[in-house]
Amino acid sequence: LQKNLASSEGATTASADIMSAEVRYRYRITPAERRFFRSFQTSAYAGYEMYHNADTLYFLDGYNLFKFGAIFDIPIFSKWLLGSHLGYGMGSGTTKFEGSLNLDYFFRRNWSMGAGYHINLLQQENPAQFPTFTVFREGYTDGVFHLKYFF
C-alpha cells in the first residue's frame, strides 16, 4: 500500500470573475500478487472542491462539494499509461458526477505527457439565482493536453 499525501488543482482568471480550487487526498493500492495485477494501480480519493462565479447571468454562482472517487491506471507496454477516473461530489443541494480518460507517454522516468477527456455533470436544487427552476442541471466537457512530473 502506498499513500499520496495530497494533490491540488486550481485556476483563476485575470479578472477574478471565476475562482475554482480542488484538494484531494489519494490512497494508492498496489497489489503484491502476480505481475499484471501489480502493475495495475487503483486509488481511492476524498477531497473538497470550491467554485465561485461572479458573473451569474447564465451559470451557477458557485458551489462547495465534498468529493470521493476512484482512479485506475493501467500500464501499456513499457512507456504508456492508460488512466481513468470516476468521482462523485455532494454539497448543500448540489451533486456532481465526473469522469475522465487519459493516455500518457513517459519520455523519462519521472516525466510524462499526454492527452485526456473529462466530462462533468452538475445538478443544483432550488438555485437562488434561478427562482423559476426547481432543479438546475449543467454539463460540460473538455479535452486536455498535459505534462506531468512525478516525485
**pTM recorded for the entire structure:** 0.75
Q: What is the largest CA-CA distance in the chain?
A: 57
Do 81 and 101 contact (CB within 8 A), yes or no? no
Do 84 and 101 contact (CB within 8 A), yes or no? yes
**Is pLDDT of 118 > 50?**
yes
Q: Residues 40-51: pLDDT tens digits? A: 888 999 999 998
Q: Among candidates 75, 70, 78, 76, which has minimal Cα distance to 29?
A: 70
Q: What is the pLDDT of residue 149?
A: 87
Q: What is the pLDDT of residue 35?
A: 61
Q: What is the pLDDT of residue 21?
A: 92
Q: Residues 56-110: pLDDT tens digits? A: 666 777 889 999 999 999 888 889 999 999 999 999 889 999 999 999 999 998 8
